[in-house]
């Protein structure tokens, strides 16, 4: 996998805490210029993954590169090129927005005041407001504004949308889109709200119990995973293709999901006296299907 | 138009946007020369990935429905007028296809189905005339 075409590549990245495997052989590929959404339930390992990328945690085994730099050896180079917003980012409550910006500017050799201002202006942020007085949505936007101050090539946003009200969520979504559009910047975002992620992501990964169960361009996933209904009012139940999931057999109808849909597969189901319908699925349905173990071939 | 995206829908977002532009052209809401928002503007307005919007524009451009004038933006092309005709036919056909599935599934005869459609059309025509 080329390090030029990918902003993040990991190979078998594993992190154990005692006997618990927080990350288990994660091989992820985040294309440059994409908005990549890493989803999964609480405790699936999303934050651990980000922390390994920034060398805030040492991987137990496996390797990874961010923007071509090794996550263990080159963490300084990585942090200069990446903007990070942690989950529930702690901010110094007594600082004003202005002071916070100035403080962060001091941490980097270059600072793009204009880019930060543009973001703050979009939500009409008062620069003298104390961080402690801001709403969660405002804090999220301020965190993003400051995270792009050093013109990073990539943004890592951990749970940036989680727990926000609808209006604040829209504001943050907008900032992610704006941030991404600058020079094809890559955005890596974790979260749980699948609908929000589906809006903005073009690539998705799904982490379950530390394992990367799915990784795909979003559109491919939607084209591949389908629910098929075969109505057989008179005849016998159809023979199912291999690898079907979620099989439900009713007297005159058989419903199942496939993860490798194609027109050939559809043709193979064609039989006299039988009607076949193919349903598109939402991302949520797709994840539920892929998270389940495969059914053994019928009967 | 171009204002409602349903991320929970099973229909991919790029398809939802494409359909809305096509419908706009078919219904005469978008006419040749109309300028569309820039990729960035539309992405921010709909809150969707800019790559998705760029892809929609690219595909509709290849079909000839849209044209990009360098440095000016994306416009409904002059050819759209011609395409609108076939587009109208295609959109109706698409919906009829769905109906046809049920006609078949419910075991209706072709004649019975056509009779139903004629009645519906007559009914709609009457209502429209009364409104005028």
Task: Tell me the pLDDT tens digit for each residue of A2-50.
Answer: 557 999 999 999 999 999 999 999 999 999 999 999 998 888 999 999 9
SS3 B79: coil
Sign of CA dihedral A139, A143, A149, A153: negative
Q: Which of A173, A222, A225 best tests the B interface by mutation, with the highest count of B CBs <10 A?
A: A222
B8:A219 CB<8 A: no
- Residue where one domain finishes, among candidates A195, A217, A239: A217
CA dist B24 and B84 (Å) reads 9
| Domain count across chain A | 2
The predicted complex's ipTM stands at 0.78
Confidence label for B1 from pLDDT (cuts 50, 70 and 90): low
Same domain, A130 and A202: yes
CATH of the domain at A126: 3.40.50.300
Q: Which residues of chain A lie closer than 8 angstroms to B5, CB-CB?
A: 199
User: pLDDT at position A30, please?
Assistant: 97
DSSP-derived pairing of the beta strands A20-26 and A82-85 = unpaired
- Residue where one domain finishes, among candidates A165, A188, A217: A217
User: pLDDT at position A298, please?
Assistant: 42
A173 part of contact set with chain B, CB < 8 Å: yes
pLDDT of B3 > 80? The answer is no
Interior/surface letters A97-135, b for 16+ CB within 10 angstroms, e for the rest: beebbeebbeeeeebeeebbeebbeebebeeeebbeebe
Q: Which residues of chain A lie closer than 8 angstroms to B54, CB-CB?
A: none
Lowest mean pLDDT among A88-102, A145-159, A266-280: A266-280
Same domain, A212 and A250: no
Q: What is the mean pLDDT of residues A168-187?
A: 86
Chain A (73-112) residues lying within 8 Å, Cβ to Cβ, of chain B: none
Lowest mean pLDDT among A51-55, A252-256, B80-84, B117-121: B80-84
User: pTM for this one?
Assistant: 0.85
Is residue A297 one of the residues assigned to a domain? no
- Kindly give the interhelix angle for B80-106 and B110-131, rounded to the nearest 10 degrees: 130
Is residue A149 one of the residues assigned to a domain? yes
A175 part of contact set with chain B, CB < 8 Å: no
A58 part of contact set with chain B, CB < 8 Å: no
A284:B50 CB<8 A: no
> Which comes out higher in pLDDT, residue A242 or A47?
A47
User: pLDDT at position B2, please?
Assistant: 65
B105:A275 CB<8 A: yes
Same domain, A14 and A133: yes
Confidence label for A246 from pLDDT (cuts 50, 70 and 90): confident
Which one of B7, B44, B50 has the shortest CB-CB distance to A198? B7
A284:B8 CB<8 A: yes
pLDDT of A296 > 70? The answer is no
A174:B49 CB<8 A: no
User: pLDDT at position B70, please?
Assistant: 87
Q: Which residues of chain B lie closer than 8 angstroms to A180, CB-CB?
A: 49-50
Closest approach of chain B CAs to the CA of A211, in angstroms? 25
B7:A196 CB<8 A: yes
Is residue A281 one of the residues assigned to a domain? yes
Closest approach of chain B CAs to the CA of A197, in angstroms? 9
Is residue A296 one of the residues assigned to a domain? no
User: pLDDT at position A297, please?
Assistant: 46
Q: What is the mean pLDDT of residues B50-59?
A: 93
Is residue A194 one of the residues assigned to a domain? yes
CA dist A124 and A19 (Å) reads 48
Same domain, A119 and A200: yes
| Domain ranges across chain B | 13-81, 85-131
User: pLDDT at position A98, please?
Assistant: 94
DSSP state of A17: E
Same domain, A141 and A11: yes
User: pLDDT at position B127, please?
Assistant: 85
**Which H helix or E strand runs over A154?**
strand A154-158
Which one of B7, B44, B49 has the shortest CB-CB distance to A178? B44
Size of interface A-B (CB pairs under 8 A): 61
Same domain, A200 and A235: no
Query: Which segments of A152-262 does DSSP mark as H helices, in order?
Result: 166-181, 194-200, 218-224
Confidence label for A193 from pLDDT (cuts 50, 70 and 90): confident
Query: Which segments of A151-257 does DSSP mark as H helices, in order?
Result: 166-181, 194-200, 218-224
Same domain, A131 and A36: yes
Question: To the nearest whole number, what is the mean pLDDT of chain B?
Answer: 87
> Which comes out higher in pLDDT, residue A238 or B62?
B62
Confidence label for B38 from pLDDT (cuts 50, 70 and 90): very high
Paired with A61 in beta bridges are A14
Same domain, A69 and A177: yes
Which one of B7, B11, B101 has the shortest CB-CB distance to A199? B7
Q: What is the mean pLDDT of residues B35-49?
A: 92
Q: For residue A23, give its domain range.
A: 6-217
User: pLDDT at position A240, please?
Assistant: 82
For A52-94, the pLDDT digits (tens) are 999 999 999 999 999 999 999 999 999 999 999 988 777 889 9
- Residue where one domain finishes, among candidates A200, A217, A234: A217
Is residue A247 one of the residues assigned to a domain? yes
User: pLDDT at position B8, please?
Assistant: 76
Q: Which residues of chain A lie closer than 8 angstroms to B101, CB-CB?
A: 275, 277
Same domain, A189 and A276: no
CATH 3.40.1160.10 fits B13-81, yes or no: no
User: pLDDT at position A299, please?
Assistant: 39
Same domain, A88 and A188: yes
A168 part of contact set with chain B, CB < 8 Å: no
For A122-165, the pLDDT digits (tens) are 999 999 999 999 998 899 999 999 999 999 999 999 998 888 88
pLDDT of A183 > 80? The answer is no
A196 part of contact set with chain B, CB < 8 Å: yes
Is residue A298 one of the residues assigned to a domain? no
């Amino acid at each position: 996998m080329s390090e030029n075409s990918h902003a993040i590549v990991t190979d078998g990245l594993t992190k154990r805490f005692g006997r618990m495997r927080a990350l288990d052989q994660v091989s992820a590929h985040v294309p440059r210029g994409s908005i990549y959404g890493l989803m999964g339930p609480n405790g699936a390992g999303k934050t651990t993954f980000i922390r390994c990328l920034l060398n805030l945690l040492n991987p137990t085994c496996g390797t990874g590169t961010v923007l071509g730099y090794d996550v263990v050896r080159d963490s300084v180079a990585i942090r200069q090129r990446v903007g990070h917003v942690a989950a529930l980012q702690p901010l110094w409550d007594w600082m004003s927005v202005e002071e916070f910006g100035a403080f962060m500017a001091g941490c980097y050799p270059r600072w793009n005041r204009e880019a930060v201002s543009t973001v703050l202006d979009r939500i009409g942020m008062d620069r003298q407001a104390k961080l402690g007085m801001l709403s969660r949505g405002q804090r999220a936007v301020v965190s993003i504004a400051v995270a792009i101050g050093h013109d990073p090539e990539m943004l890592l946003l951990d749970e940036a949308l989680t727990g926000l009200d609808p209006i604040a969520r829209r504001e943050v979504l907008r900032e992610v889109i704006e941030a991404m559009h600058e020079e094809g910047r890559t955005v890596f975002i974790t979260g749980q709200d699948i609908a929000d992620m589906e809006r903005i992501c073009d690539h998705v990964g799904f982490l379950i119990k530390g394992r990367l169960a799915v990784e795909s361009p979003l559109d491919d996933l939607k084209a591949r995973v389908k629910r098929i209904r075969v109505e057989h009012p008179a005849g016998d139940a159809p023979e199912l293709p291999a690898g079907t999931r979620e099989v439900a057999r009713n007297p005159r109808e058989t419903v199942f999901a496939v993860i490798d849909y194609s027109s050939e597969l559809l043709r193979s189901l064609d039989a006299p006296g039988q009607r076949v319908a193919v349903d598109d699925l939402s991302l949520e349905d797709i994840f539920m299907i892929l998270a389940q173990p495969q059914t053994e071939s019928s009967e | 138009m171009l204002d409602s995206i349903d991320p929970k829908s099973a229909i991919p977002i790029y398809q939802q946007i494409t359909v809305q532009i096509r419908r706009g052209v078919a219904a005469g809401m978008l006419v040749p020369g109309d300028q569309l928002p820039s990729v960035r503007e539309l992405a921010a307005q709909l809150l969707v990935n800019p790559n998705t919007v760029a892809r929609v524009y690219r595909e509709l451009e290849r079909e000839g429905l849209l044209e990009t004038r360098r440095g000016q933006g994306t416009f409904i092309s002059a050819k759209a007028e011609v395409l609108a005709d076939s587009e109208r036919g295609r959109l109706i056909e698409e919906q009829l296809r769905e109906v046809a599935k049920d006609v078949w599934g419910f075991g209706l005869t072709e004649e019975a189905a056509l009779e139903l459609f004629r009645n519906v059309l007559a009914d709609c025509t009457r209502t429209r005339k009364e409104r005028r």
